[in-house]
Chain A
Amino acid sequence: MAAYFHSVTLEKEKCMGCTNCIKRCPTEAIRVREGKAKIIDERCIDCGECIRVCHNHAKRALTDPLEIIKAYPYPVALPAPTLYSQFSHKFKVDQIIQGLLNLGFFRVWEVARGAEIATQVLVKYLENHALPKPVISAACPAVLRLIQVRYPELLEHVIPIESPMEISARLAKKELEEEGYPVEQVGVFFISPCAAKVTSVKNPLGVKKSQVDGVIAISDIYGPLLAQLASTASVSIQPRASGAGIGWAVTGGESRLLPFTQTLSVDGIANVVRVLDDIAMGKLKEVDFIEGLACMGGCVGGPLTIENSYLSKTRIQNLSKKYGMSYLEVAPEFAFSEFFWTEKIEPCSVLVLDEDLALAMQKLETLDEIHKALPGLDCGSCGAPTCRALAEDIVRGLAVEIDCIFKLREKVTDLAERMVELSSKLPPSIGKPR
């Protein structure tokens, strides 16, 4: 099996092995081994929690450098709406778009427009398909992966339509192709606040192949783009996204465009976990739609952003007001179903103890026994996030009981006592008379 690619990685030299990150990971994907954190790749959902919590900046996301656009004669920028929130309000969106063109992009296709289209595709999908309530948005790739890994039973609640990024990429390519540009010379690049989006391009869920050719971090393009903003006069492009699409950058931006009476907008991966737990128990049935975003505040809180996310949120809200909420409606003959997923998402079995049920049951029993014998402090010194996670690692053959420092101390004490006992048992030839 080829190694599973995902975006979030560790810079070994910077990691101090402090174990701060291991408890924050929603899928218990991190262990500390030999003084360094290690990500169990298949478990990682690229939520970015560990990037945010690491004081040593040892975690980062793999993205493409800006230079990648030179590989294509006709590079297209797909700016996430979050990009607009990274700069002071004195720079207009027009200027940001022109700045991107100055940096070498041949064209700019706003993902905020893709979001407006996604809204219409979603409504169309639900008109013709009945999903169990509450239906769950597929927009945040980290949440989608979380469902795949931890809540496979909820996959059927997920609305199987493409993300604004994919929709934008497809339409941008189509547009240039129709204008006569050779499609293989068109490269489409997402300007991203999000590590999980990188993974969703390389390992897409729901579609066979992503239409995106590269993902550039907002944090990488920020400096060069800012330099352009100082000098650019604003040039306007058409058609433009409205405040509705731009609003997707913050929590609730997707829900508020939908014709539902009860929607929940949840942000922060730990909060999303709580809500998914509730749905899994059959609760929240009265809710129509759930928008779950891994990052606090929504994508403005993404791990690849620069600006304070609260300020970004205010800026997005101001932009929404400025550009208004009425957006371009697609024609009735628009090919909606082209944007429905073609691939079924299979549950990911990384949390399963064994493919064989009988063996899995045995392992579970052993796991419970080991867990009971551990101190239950969840101290993290063993490198696993909880005592239960250590027990799980032990039954999987990835750790041993004396990785627990308390167990080790017990063993040492035992051994020491036995040594004392032995030392008193000197052979009669040299020992004291009894």
Chain B
Amino acid sequence: MMDDNKQFKPLKLYFTVEQGDFIRAGEASSKIKKVLSQLGFPGSLIRRVAIAAYEAEMNIVIHSWGGELEAEIGPEHVTIVARDRGPGISDIALAMEEGYSTAPDKVREMGFGAGMGLPNIQNCATEFIIESGEGRGTVLRILIAVKE
């Protein structure tokens, strides 16, 4: 489909995210943010992507057995896919509620577990899909359009 001279090959970034690795947690989202700044995207997009990617990354660190974060950057939108190996979310609607959290005390002491992560992603996203269920991995598909 070479219909015009300005053909965009979307830029893909890929990161693995380890379970419980609080030292490196946030690095993937931080790199995505840096790339968007270097590409000259407007601040409003950078902010929304950074927040959504960070919350998705932290959920993999805190609630999952490990997974990966992928970002695809195009001229009109950025998509983030966060994929993990389980244990899955049995009640997605409940997980989406503000304030709902199953974070253990140890994690809460570190300042996480307000139950605001998924609602925050929802606020930042233009489109947001969660694929999950008990006993399987969770996939978040987050699309953020450049134009708010």
Contact = CB atoms under 8 A, between A and B. Distances in A.
Interface of A: 150, 152-156, 277, 280-283, 347, 349, 351-355, 357-358, 360-361, 364-365
Contacts of B29: 281
Contact of B43 (A153, A277, A283, A353): A153
A257 B30 CA distance: 34
Contacts of A281: 26, 29-30, 33, 50-51, 54
B9 interface: yes
B35 interface: yes
Number of contact residues on B: which range applies? 20 to 34
Nearest to A153: B43
B35 A354 contact: no
Query: Closest 4 A-B residue pairs measured CB to CB?
Result: A153-B43, A282-B51, A352-B40, A153-B47
Nearest to B112: A283
A203 B76 CA distance: 34
B89 to A, nearest CB: 21
Contacts of B120: 282
A357 to B, nearest CB: 5
Given A358-B6, A361-B11, A365-B11, A153 B46 contact: yes
B38 A352 contact: yes
Contacts of B44: 153
A221 B120 CA distance: 52
Contacts of A153: 43-44, 46-47, 50
B104 interface: no
B18 interface: no
Interface string B50-93: 11001100000000000000000101000000000000000000
Contacts of B39: 352-353, 357, 360-361, 364
A347 B11 contact: no
Given A155-B43, A281-B26, A281-B50, A358 B8 contact: yes
A361 B8 contact: yes
B2 to A, nearest CB: 14
Given A281-B50, A360-B38, 14 more contacts: A152-B46, A281-B26, A281-B51, A282-B120, A351-B38, A352-B37, A352-B39, A353-B40, A357-B8, A358-B6, A360-B39, A361-B11, A361-B39, A364-B39
Interface string B1-41: 00000111101000000000000001001100101011110
B17 to A, nearest CB: 14
A379 to B, nearest CB: 22
A349 B47 contact: no
B50 A282 contact: yes
18 contacts: A150-B37, A152-B43, A153-B47, A154-B47, A280-B33, A281-B26, A281-B50, A281-B51, A282-B55, A283-B111, A352-B38, A354-B40, A358-B8, A360-B39, A361-B73, A364-B11, A364-B35, A364-B38
Contacts of A349: 40
Given A357-B75, A360-B40, A282 B46 contact: no
A352 B35 CA distance: 9
B146 to A, nearest CB: 10
Contacts of A150: 37
B79 to A, nearest CB: 15
Contacts of B40: 349, 352-355, 357, 360
